[in-house]
Amino acid sequence: MNCIENLIQLYNENKNYTMKKFLLITIVLCILTVANAFSQSKKFFAVTGDQFGSVNWIAFRQFDLDDVTRIKTLYVPAETNEVVYDALTASQLNSNSTDAVKNTNPQTCGCLNSRMVAAIAYDEADNRLYYTTMMGNQLRYLDLNEDKPKSYAVTTQLLKNFPNQPGEASNITRMCFAANGFGYALTNDNQHLIQFSTQKRGDIKDLGNLIDAKSNGDNSIKTQIKSWGGDMIADANGSLYLFAMQKGVFKINPVTKVATYLGSIKSMPDDYTINAAMATGGANVIVASSTNTSTYYRVDLNTLQATALNAGKTKVYNVSDFANATLAFDDSKNVSTISAKTLDAVAVNIYPNPVTAHNFYVQLSNFEKGKYTVEISQLQGKKILQHEINISGSQTEKINLPKGVSGGAYLIKIMNGKGESVYTDKIIVAN
């Protein structure tokens, strides 16, 4: 901006009308050029090792697609006494209030320390980089509007408000922002697709487990080898894509939670694991490994064909996760309109399921306006609850089970004002 400032000063000091006119036109052109450069920004973000080649994934860095040598280190947490601030109050949190895990099983991840990160997502609207630590249960973000970004934590809600499974199953290693403006995080075992907003209070919802499309066959979203690890991206049509560590790709509808297996990435070495992914326009996705520094790959979402980028010329940072603001298949169309058309099917999400505290939430999407009844009954047919609600499109209702309801399986049915069933499923009540 220094050139523009100098031109403005010359304009103010010059008394010649012709020269002033020329300077004014030049200033406008300069401003337009700068504005266009910002609008065409190709910045992306990555979590890398603290040093080149390191597997200590704690360093948040900013890169440029047009010049990979243009690297800016944004944030590296301190080895001890990492400072984290409350997203709501901006006050500094003490170490006991950050990422407190209650009544959970031990997790493992082969981590060198508790600060390691494998899931980030970029919120372009607020210029924030959201993340969570591999061993933690808290949603955090870096405010990139600050000269020196600090880490802020959502303290009103936990990102993971469920008991951990032993090992790495409950670790969150995938995260992205979708076309609807919500962020999504996914546990390794695909049992918890978590939606969050950019509000400082969090507005975090556990949508529950991913469901296999009937066409998946042996390539189940529940198979550890084929579906764990990796990263998520989003497209302009409202869908999510899971790039699993072992090269399998699944397309996810975040409303129905159905995951459809698309295939395995082609023309990539067997020992190359996928740990990071980002859309770069059209069907192009760039993927990277957390341990391999030989090259990144460009993958075509239509064919799943991989092409090495600058293989053998220069080594690259090994990356645990990528993030940027680009959506796949975004042809500068109205994203909100596309999303509404694509995800207009009536859908119901029930969480948590199993029910652990004698209450649960029913998320209702794209329902016709009117009165509905939620009915809970035993498998033998005996009704134990009827709850009437007024729906005006999409909303979330909390259902409290009656006292004395014992653990086991129950049927949940939603009926419209005519008494017609519009949804039926099974819930499990934990003892």
pLDDT tens digits, one per residue of 324-377: 999 999 864 333 332 323 334 456 777 777 887 788 888 777 678 889 999 999
The mean pLDDT of 266-278, rounded to a whole number, is 95
Please state, in angstroms and rounded to a whole number, the distance separating the CA atoms of residues 201 and 371. Answer: 30
E-only strand ranges, 310-407 = 319-323, 347-351, 359-365, 370-378, 383-391, 395-400
Judge contact between 173 and 243, C-beta under 8 A. Answer: no
Confidence of residue 95 (pLDDT cuts 50, 70, 90): low
Its sign, for the CA torsion 383, 388, 392, 396, is: negative
Pick 90 or 30 by higher pLDDT. 90
Which amino acid is it at 338? I
Whether residue 17 has pLDDT greater than 70 = no
Rounded-to-integer distance, Cα 279 and Cα 304, Å: 13
Contacts 24+ apart (CB under 8 A), 314-317: 314/68, 315/52, 315/53, 316/68, 316/288, 317/46, 317/48, 317/49, 317/52, 317/61, 317/288, 317/293
Cα separation, 169 vs 173, whole angstroms:
10
Q: What is the pLDDT of residues 38-56, one digit of tens each?
A: 344 589 999 998 888 888 8
Residues 415/396, Cβ–Cβ less than 8 Å: no
**Given CA atoms 320, 326, 330, 331 in this order, what sign does their dihedral have?**
negative
pLDDT for 337: 32
Q: Which domains does the chain have, with CATH numbers?
A: 2-39 (no CATH), 43-341 (2.120.10), 346-429 (2.60.40.10)
Contact 318, 288 (CB under 8 A): yes
Is the Cβ–Cβ distance between 154 and 138 less than 8 Å? yes
β 140-143/128-133 pair status? antiparallel
Predicted confidence band of residue 234 (pLDDT cuts 50, 70, 90): very high
Give the Cα separation of 284 and 69 in Å (integer): 21
Task: For residue 82, give the amino acid letter.
Answer: E
State yes or no: pLDDT of 57 exceeds 60: yes
Q: pLDDT digits over 97-149, tens only?
A: 545 444 455 666 667 678 899 999 999 999 999 999 988 899 999 999 999 99
pLDDT at 20 over 60: no
Give residue 365's Cα distance to chain centre. 20
Task: Give which of 371, 362, 359, 373 is closest to 402, Cα–Cα.
Answer: 359
The type of residue at 313 is K
Average pLDDT, stretch 93-100? 58
Query: Which residues, other chains included, contact 78 with Cβ-Cβ below 8 Å and sequence gap of 6+?
Result: none
Using pLDDT thresholds of 50, 70 and 90, give the confidence band for residue 264. very high
Average confidence score pLDDT of the chain: 82
The pLDDT of residue 25: 54
Question: Phi, psi at residue 23, to the nearest 5°?
Answer: -65, -40
In angstroms, the CA 364 to CA 132 distance is 28
Q: Give residue 284's pLDDT.
A: 94
Least confident of 6-20, 131-145, 198-212, 327-341: 327-341
Is the pLDDT at 80 greater than 70? The verdict is no
Give 265's pLDDT tier (boundaries 50, 70, 90).
Answer: very high
Q: Which pLDDT band, with edges at 50, 70 and 90, does 185 fall under?
A: very high
Instruction: Write the Ramachandran bin of 359: left for phi over 0, alpha for psi from -120 to 50, otherwise beta.
Output: beta
Give the helix ranges, DSSP H, for 43-135.
none
Closest CA to 117 of 132, 139, 129: 132
Give residue 427's pLDDT: 87
Higher pLDDT, 82 or 9: 82
Task: State the pLDDT confidence band at 1, using cuts at 50, 70 and 90.
Answer: very low
Angle between helix 17-39 and helix 2-13 axes, rounded to 10 deg: 160
Q: What is the pLDDT of residue 340?
A: 29
**Token couple for 87:** 């997203």
Residue 278 has pLDDT above 80, yes or no: yes
Do the Cβ atoms of 346 and 369 come closer than 8 Å? no
Half-sphere exposure of 2 (CA within 13 A, CB side): 0
Altogether, the residues listed in the chain come to a count of 431
Q: pTM of the full predicted structure?
A: 0.69
Q: What is the mean pLDDT of residues 378-405?
A: 86
**Which of 230, 270, 274 lies closest to 252, judged by CA?**
230
The helix, strand and coil proportions of the chain, stated in percent and rounded to the nearest 5, come to 10, 40, 50
